Structure 1
Amino acid sequence: MKLPEPSLLIHFLQTGGWVLQALLGLCCILLILLLERYWFRWLEFTKLKQQTLFDIEQHSNNLAWLSAYCQLDLKLQSHLPLIRILIALCPLLGLLGTVTGMIQVFDGLALNQGANPQLMASGIAKATLPTMAGMAIAVFGLIFYTHLQRWSTHERIALSQQTGADEYL
Protein backbone atom coordinates (compact mmCIF):
# COMPACT_ATOMS: atom_id res chain seq x y z
CA MET A 1 0.00 0.00 0.00
CA LYS A 2 1.46 3.31 -1.07
CA LEU A 3 1.11 6.27 1.29
CA PRO A 4 -0.02 9.58 -0.19
CA GLU A 5 2.58 12.24 -0.77
CA PRO A 6 2.78 14.96 1.89
CA SER A 7 1.94 17.60 -0.71
CA LEU A 8 -1.40 15.87 -1.40
CA LEU A 9 -2.27 15.89 2.30
CA ILE A 10 -1.34 19.57 2.58
CA HIS A 11 -3.44 20.36 -0.49
CA PHE A 12 -6.37 18.42 0.98
CA LEU A 13 -6.10 20.34 4.27
CA GLN A 14 -5.88 23.68 2.46
CA THR A 15 -8.89 22.82 0.31
CA GLY A 16 -11.05 22.16 3.37
CA GLY A 17 -9.95 25.32 5.13
CA TRP A 18 -9.50 25.94 8.82
CA VAL A 19 -12.27 23.50 9.76
CA LEU A 20 -10.45 20.59 8.15
CA GLN A 21 -7.29 21.57 10.00
CA ALA A 22 -9.25 21.66 13.27
CA LEU A 23 -10.63 18.21 12.44
CA LEU A 24 -7.09 16.95 11.93
CA GLY A 25 -6.18 18.21 15.40
CA LEU A 26 -9.30 16.61 16.87
CA CYS A 27 -8.45 13.36 15.10
CA CYS A 28 -4.94 13.38 16.56
CA ILE A 29 -6.28 13.89 20.08
CA LEU A 30 -8.84 11.12 19.56
CA LEU A 31 -6.20 8.77 18.23
CA ILE A 32 -3.88 9.45 21.18
CA LEU A 33 -6.69 8.76 23.67
CA LEU A 34 -7.70 5.55 21.91
CA LEU A 35 -4.09 4.35 21.82
CA GLU A 36 -3.73 5.11 25.53
CA ARG A 37 -6.83 3.05 26.32
CA TYR A 38 -5.53 0.09 24.28
CA TRP A 39 -2.13 0.45 25.95
CA PHE A 40 -3.90 0.25 29.30
CA ARG A 41 -5.95 -2.74 28.20
CA TRP A 42 -3.11 -4.83 26.82
CA LEU A 43 -0.19 -3.89 29.05
CA GLU A 44 -1.34 -2.43 32.36
CA PHE A 45 -4.75 -3.82 33.23
CA THR A 46 -3.72 -7.40 34.01
CA LYS A 47 -1.05 -6.26 36.48
CA LEU A 48 -3.40 -3.76 38.12
CA LYS A 49 -6.16 -6.34 38.39
CA GLN A 50 -3.85 -8.87 40.02
CA GLN A 51 -2.57 -6.23 42.46
CA THR A 52 -6.12 -5.14 43.28
CA LEU A 53 -7.27 -8.70 43.90
CA PHE A 54 -4.22 -9.24 46.14
CA ASP A 55 -5.04 -6.05 48.07
CA ILE A 56 -8.64 -7.17 48.45
CA GLU A 57 -7.55 -10.53 49.86
CA GLN A 58 -5.28 -8.77 52.35
CA HIS A 59 -8.04 -6.45 53.59
CA SER A 60 -11.04 -8.74 53.31
CA ASN A 61 -12.04 -8.23 56.95
CA ASN A 62 -12.69 -4.47 56.61
CA LEU A 63 -13.83 -2.08 53.90
CA ALA A 64 -10.32 -0.81 53.03
CA TRP A 65 -10.34 -3.13 50.01
CA LEU A 66 -13.17 -1.08 48.53
CA SER A 67 -10.75 1.75 47.86
CA ALA A 68 -8.52 -0.46 45.73
CA TYR A 69 -11.57 -1.72 43.84
CA CYS A 70 -12.84 1.81 43.18
CA GLN A 71 -9.45 2.97 41.93
CA LEU A 72 -9.31 0.15 39.39
CA ASP A 73 -12.91 0.85 38.40
CA LEU A 74 -12.03 4.50 37.74
CA LYS A 75 -9.00 3.49 35.68
CA LEU A 76 -11.18 1.20 33.58
CA GLN A 77 -13.44 4.14 32.69
CA SER A 78 -10.69 6.72 32.30
CA HIS A 79 -10.91 8.88 29.14
CA LEU A 80 -13.95 7.06 27.76
CA PRO A 81 -16.34 10.01 28.30
CA LEU A 82 -13.86 12.37 26.63
CA ILE A 83 -13.49 10.00 23.68
CA ARG A 84 -17.28 9.90 23.33
CA ILE A 85 -17.46 13.71 23.32
CA LEU A 86 -14.74 14.00 20.67
CA ILE A 87 -16.56 11.48 18.48
CA ALA A 88 -19.76 13.52 18.76
CA LEU A 89 -17.91 16.76 17.92
CA CYS A 90 -16.36 15.52 14.68
CA PRO A 91 -19.51 15.44 12.50
CA LEU A 92 -20.71 18.73 13.98
CA LEU A 93 -17.42 20.42 13.16
CA GLY A 94 -17.58 18.92 9.68
CA LEU A 95 -21.05 20.37 9.16
CA LEU A 96 -19.75 23.75 10.30
CA GLY A 97 -17.12 23.50 7.58
CA THR A 98 -19.75 22.70 5.00
CA VAL A 99 -21.93 25.64 6.02
CA THR A 100 -19.03 28.09 5.95
CA GLY A 101 -17.89 26.65 2.62
CA MET A 102 -21.34 27.04 1.10
CA ILE A 103 -21.48 30.64 2.30
CA GLN A 104 -18.19 31.24 0.48
CA VAL A 105 -19.62 29.62 -2.68
CA PHE A 106 -22.69 31.85 -2.61
CA ASP A 107 -20.56 34.92 -1.91
CA GLY A 108 -18.42 34.05 -4.93
CA LEU A 109 -21.52 33.65 -7.08
CA ALA A 110 -22.88 37.00 -5.90
CA LEU A 111 -19.60 38.75 -6.71
CA ASN A 112 -19.41 37.26 -10.21
CA GLN A 113 -23.06 38.18 -10.99
CA GLY A 114 -23.64 34.83 -12.63
CA ALA A 115 -23.89 31.14 -12.10
CA ASN A 116 -20.86 29.40 -13.52
CA PRO A 117 -21.68 25.69 -13.14
CA GLN A 118 -18.02 24.63 -12.98
CA LEU A 119 -17.19 27.21 -10.31
CA MET A 120 -20.27 26.24 -8.35
CA ALA A 121 -19.53 22.49 -8.54
CA SER A 122 -15.94 23.06 -7.47
CA GLY A 123 -17.03 25.18 -4.52
CA ILE A 124 -19.63 22.67 -3.40
CA ALA A 125 -17.07 19.87 -3.61
CA LYS A 126 -14.68 21.87 -1.42
CA ALA A 127 -17.46 22.68 1.02
CA THR A 128 -18.44 19.04 1.54
CA LEU A 129 -14.90 17.84 2.32
CA PRO A 130 -15.10 18.77 6.03
CA THR A 131 -18.37 16.86 6.46
CA MET A 132 -16.89 13.78 4.82
CA ALA A 133 -13.79 14.02 7.01
CA GLY A 134 -15.82 14.59 10.19
CA MET A 135 -18.06 11.62 9.49
CA ALA A 136 -15.10 9.36 8.64
CA ILE A 137 -13.29 10.29 11.85
CA ALA A 138 -16.46 9.77 13.90
CA VAL A 139 -17.13 6.32 12.41
CA PHE A 140 -13.50 5.31 12.93
CA GLY A 141 -13.59 6.51 16.53
CA LEU A 142 -16.98 4.98 17.23
CA ILE A 143 -15.84 1.51 16.18
CA PHE A 144 -12.91 1.54 18.60
CA TYR A 145 -14.82 3.36 21.35
CA THR A 146 -17.60 0.74 21.28
CA HIS A 147 -15.03 -2.05 21.51
CA LEU A 148 -13.32 -0.40 24.48
CA GLN A 149 -16.61 0.44 26.20
CA ARG A 150 -17.85 -3.15 25.95
CA TRP A 151 -14.55 -4.51 27.25
CA SER A 152 -14.58 -2.03 30.13
CA THR A 153 -18.17 -2.88 31.08
CA HIS A 154 -17.43 -6.60 30.91
CA GLU A 155 -14.35 -6.24 33.13
CA ARG A 156 -16.19 -4.04 35.62
CA ILE A 157 -19.01 -6.57 35.96
CA ALA A 158 -16.58 -9.48 36.28
CA LEU A 159 -14.50 -7.61 38.86
CA SER A 160 -17.52 -6.63 40.97
CA GLN A 161 -18.78 -10.22 40.97
CA GLN A 162 -15.34 -11.60 41.73
CA THR A 163 -14.75 -9.24 44.65
CA GLY A 164 -18.28 -9.03 45.97
CA ALA A 165 -18.25 -5.27 45.56
CA ASP A 166 -21.73 -5.26 44.06
CA GLU A 167 -23.07 -5.77 47.59
CA TYR A 168 -21.60 -2.42 48.70
CA LEU A 169 -22.18 -0.32 45.59
Structure 2
Amino acid sequence: MMLFLMDTWDSVRGFISTGGDVLLLVAFVLFLMWVLMLERYFYLNIAFPRFRKNMIAQWDARDETSSWHAHRIREAWISQAKQQLNARMLIIKTLVAICPMIGLLGTVTGMINVFDVMAVQGTSNARAMAAGISTATMPTMAGMVAALSGVFFSTRLDARLKVSLEKLADSLSYKE
Protein backbone atom coordinates (compact mmCIF):
# COMPACT_ATOMS: atom_id res chain seq x y z
CA MET A 1 0.00 0.00 0.00
CA MET A 2 2.80 2.39 0.92
CA LEU A 3 4.57 1.63 -2.34
CA PHE A 4 1.38 2.41 -4.26
CA LEU A 5 1.03 5.77 -2.51
CA MET A 6 4.66 6.65 -3.20
CA ASP A 7 4.27 5.72 -6.89
CA THR A 8 1.10 7.78 -7.11
CA TRP A 9 2.77 10.76 -5.44
CA ASP A 10 5.73 10.49 -7.84
CA SER A 11 3.33 10.44 -10.80
CA VAL A 12 1.52 13.54 -9.53
CA ARG A 13 4.82 15.36 -8.94
CA GLY A 14 5.99 14.43 -12.45
CA PHE A 15 2.73 15.68 -13.94
CA ILE A 16 2.99 18.98 -12.07
CA SER A 17 6.62 19.47 -13.03
CA THR A 18 5.73 18.81 -16.68
CA GLY A 19 2.86 21.28 -16.62
CA GLY A 20 4.40 24.02 -14.52
CA ASP A 21 3.23 25.98 -11.51
CA VAL A 22 -0.13 26.83 -13.05
CA LEU A 23 -1.18 23.21 -12.47
CA LEU A 24 -0.99 23.88 -8.74
CA LEU A 25 -3.52 26.66 -9.20
CA VAL A 26 -5.77 24.37 -11.27
CA ALA A 27 -5.49 21.73 -8.54
CA PHE A 28 -6.39 24.26 -5.83
CA VAL A 29 -9.43 25.52 -7.75
CA LEU A 30 -10.51 21.94 -8.49
CA PHE A 31 -10.13 20.98 -4.82
CA LEU A 32 -12.14 24.00 -3.67
CA MET A 33 -14.85 23.34 -6.26
CA TRP A 34 -15.21 19.72 -5.16
CA VAL A 35 -15.24 20.59 -1.46
CA LEU A 36 -18.09 23.02 -2.10
CA MET A 37 -20.00 20.53 -4.27
CA LEU A 38 -19.63 17.77 -1.67
CA GLU A 39 -20.86 20.17 0.99
CA ARG A 40 -23.95 20.88 -1.13
CA TYR A 41 -24.56 17.14 -1.63
CA PHE A 42 -24.22 16.65 2.12
CA TYR A 43 -26.66 19.48 2.80
CA LEU A 44 -29.15 18.16 0.25
CA ASN A 45 -29.07 14.58 1.55
CA ILE A 46 -28.53 15.06 5.30
CA ALA A 47 -29.42 18.53 6.55
CA PHE A 48 -32.18 19.62 4.16
CA PRO A 49 -34.53 16.67 4.84
CA ARG A 50 -34.59 17.65 8.52
CA PHE A 51 -35.17 21.31 7.61
CA ARG A 52 -37.94 20.24 5.18
CA LYS A 53 -39.61 18.00 7.76
CA ASN A 54 -39.55 20.79 10.34
CA MET A 55 -41.00 23.30 7.88
CA ILE A 56 -43.80 20.93 6.83
CA ALA A 57 -44.62 20.22 10.49
CA GLN A 58 -44.82 23.97 11.21
CA TRP A 59 -47.07 24.46 8.17
CA ASP A 60 -49.36 21.58 9.10
CA ALA A 61 -49.61 22.92 12.67
CA ARG A 62 -51.10 26.17 11.39
CA ASP A 63 -54.87 26.53 11.83
CA GLU A 64 -55.44 28.32 8.56
CA THR A 65 -53.42 28.14 5.38
CA SER A 66 -55.66 29.75 2.79
CA SER A 67 -55.59 33.45 3.72
CA TRP A 68 -53.50 36.08 2.00
CA HIS A 69 -51.26 36.25 5.08
CA ALA A 70 -50.72 32.46 5.06
CA HIS A 71 -49.82 32.58 1.37
CA ARG A 72 -47.16 35.21 2.06
CA ILE A 73 -45.74 33.14 4.93
CA ARG A 74 -45.60 30.09 2.64
CA GLU A 75 -43.83 32.12 -0.06
CA ALA A 76 -41.33 33.46 2.49
CA TRP A 77 -40.58 29.95 3.78
CA ILE A 78 -40.12 28.61 0.25
CA SER A 79 -37.85 31.56 -0.54
CA GLN A 80 -35.82 30.85 2.60
CA ALA A 81 -35.49 27.19 1.60
CA LYS A 82 -34.43 28.21 -1.91
CA GLN A 83 -31.80 30.51 -0.48
CA GLN A 84 -30.41 27.74 1.73
CA LEU A 85 -30.45 25.18 -1.09
CA ASN A 86 -28.70 27.48 -3.56
CA ALA A 87 -26.07 28.71 -1.11
CA ARG A 88 -22.59 28.53 -2.68
CA MET A 89 -23.93 27.37 -6.06
CA LEU A 90 -22.83 30.64 -7.68
CA ILE A 91 -19.31 30.13 -6.31
CA ILE A 92 -19.28 26.56 -7.67
CA LYS A 93 -20.42 27.71 -11.12
CA THR A 94 -17.81 30.48 -11.09
CA LEU A 95 -15.04 28.03 -10.21
CA VAL A 96 -16.20 25.75 -13.04
CA ALA A 97 -16.01 28.68 -15.46
CA ILE A 98 -12.59 29.77 -14.18
CA CYS A 99 -10.91 26.35 -14.67
CA PRO A 100 -10.43 26.67 -18.47
CA MET A 101 -9.21 30.24 -18.04
CA ILE A 102 -6.54 29.10 -15.61
CA GLY A 103 -5.58 26.41 -18.11
CA LEU A 104 -5.18 29.09 -20.77
CA LEU A 105 -2.98 31.03 -18.38
CA GLY A 106 -0.77 27.94 -18.30
CA THR A 107 -0.73 27.92 -22.10
CA VAL A 108 0.45 31.51 -22.18
CA THR A 109 3.18 30.95 -19.59
CA GLY A 110 4.33 27.81 -21.41
CA MET A 111 4.54 29.64 -24.72
CA ILE A 112 6.52 32.41 -23.05
CA ASN A 113 8.98 29.70 -21.96
CA VAL A 114 9.17 28.44 -25.56
CA PHE A 115 9.91 31.93 -26.85
CA ASP A 116 12.56 32.42 -24.15
CA VAL A 117 14.28 29.20 -25.24
CA MET A 118 14.07 30.28 -28.88
CA ALA A 119 15.55 33.67 -28.04
CA VAL A 120 18.47 32.17 -26.10
CA GLN A 121 19.22 28.98 -28.05
CA GLY A 122 17.59 29.57 -31.40
CA THR A 123 15.12 27.30 -33.15
CA SER A 124 17.52 24.39 -33.66
CA ASN A 125 17.09 22.93 -30.16
CA ALA A 126 13.78 21.06 -30.45
CA ARG A 127 14.23 19.26 -27.12
CA ALA A 128 14.42 22.55 -25.20
CA MET A 129 11.34 23.88 -27.00
CA ALA A 130 9.43 20.65 -26.26
CA ALA A 131 9.59 21.31 -22.51
CA GLY A 132 7.93 24.70 -23.00
CA ILE A 133 5.28 23.22 -25.28
CA SER A 134 4.54 20.56 -22.67
CA THR A 135 4.24 23.29 -20.07
CA ALA A 136 1.82 25.02 -22.42
CA THR A 137 -0.47 22.06 -23.13
CA MET A 138 -0.72 20.30 -19.76
CA PRO A 139 -2.45 23.14 -17.86
CA THR A 140 -4.94 23.59 -20.70
CA MET A 141 -5.83 19.92 -20.59
CA ALA A 142 -6.06 19.92 -16.79
CA GLY A 143 -8.25 23.03 -16.77
CA MET A 144 -10.60 21.51 -19.34
CA VAL A 145 -10.86 18.19 -17.47
CA ALA A 146 -11.52 20.03 -14.21
CA ALA A 147 -14.19 22.16 -15.87
CA LEU A 148 -15.86 19.14 -17.48
CA SER A 149 -16.13 17.30 -14.18
CA GLY A 150 -17.46 20.45 -12.56
CA VAL A 151 -20.02 21.11 -15.30
CA PHE A 152 -21.39 17.59 -15.13
CA PHE A 153 -21.75 17.37 -11.37
CA SER A 154 -22.82 20.97 -10.75
CA THR A 155 -25.58 20.62 -13.38
CA ARG A 156 -26.82 17.43 -11.73
CA LEU A 157 -26.62 19.09 -8.33
CA ASP A 158 -28.53 22.13 -9.56
CA ALA A 159 -31.28 19.91 -10.98
CA ARG A 160 -31.58 17.99 -7.71
CA LEU A 161 -31.79 21.24 -5.76
CA LYS A 162 -34.64 22.47 -7.97
CA VAL A 163 -36.53 19.18 -7.59
CA SER A 164 -36.11 19.31 -3.80
CA LEU A 165 -37.46 22.85 -3.72
CA GLU A 166 -40.46 21.89 -5.87
CA LYS A 167 -41.22 18.92 -3.62
CA LEU A 168 -41.10 21.20 -0.60
CA ALA A 169 -43.46 23.69 -2.26
CA ASP A 170 -45.85 20.86 -3.13
CA SER A 171 -45.73 19.61 0.47
CA LEU A 172 -46.90 22.97 1.82
CA SER A 173 -50.45 22.53 0.57
CA TYR A 174 -53.39 24.78 1.30
CA LYS A 175 -56.18 23.68 3.64
CA GLU A 176 -59.62 25.06 3.00
In the superposition, the TM-score normalised over structure 2's length comes to 0.83
* 2:19 equivalent to 1:10: no
Distance of 2:12 and 2:123 partners within structure 1:
32
Cα distance, 1:133 vs structure 2: 0.5
| Higher gyration radius (CA) | 2
* 2:71 equivalent to 1:68: no
- Counting only pairs closer than 5 Å after superposition, residues 25-104 of structure 1 correspond to structure 2 as 25-59=28-62, 60=65, 62=70, 63-104=72-113
Distance of 2:145 and 2:154 partners within structure 1:
14
Task: Provide runs of 4+ in structure 1 moved above 6 Å.
Answer: none
The answer (yes or no) to whether the contact 1:55–1:65 under 8 Å persists in 2 is: no
- Structure 1, unaligned stretches of length 5 or more? none
Amino acid at match of 1:32: V
Q: Percent identity?
A: 32
Cα distance, 1:92 vs structure 2: 0.6
* 2:115 equivalent to 1:106: yes
Query: Aligned-pair RMSD on alpha carbons?
Result: 2.2
Q: Which fold has the larger relative contact order, with Cα–Cα distance below 8 Å and residues 6 or more apart in sequence?
A: 2
Number of residue pairs matched by the alignment: 165
Amino acid at match of 1:7: D
Distance of 1:122 and 1:108 partners within structure 2:
10
Amino acid at match of 1:92: M
- Structure 2, unaligned stretches of length 5 or more? none
The answer (yes or no) to whether the contact 2:19–2:134 under 8 Å persists in 1 is: no
- Alignment partner for residue 117 of structure 1, among 107, 126, 136? 126
Distance of 1:21 and 1:96 partners within structure 2:
12
**Does the residue aligned with 1:5 lie in a helix, a strand or coil?**
helix
Amino acid at match of 2:15: F
Amino acid at match of 2:94: I
Q: Which residue of 2 aligns with 1:139?
A: 148
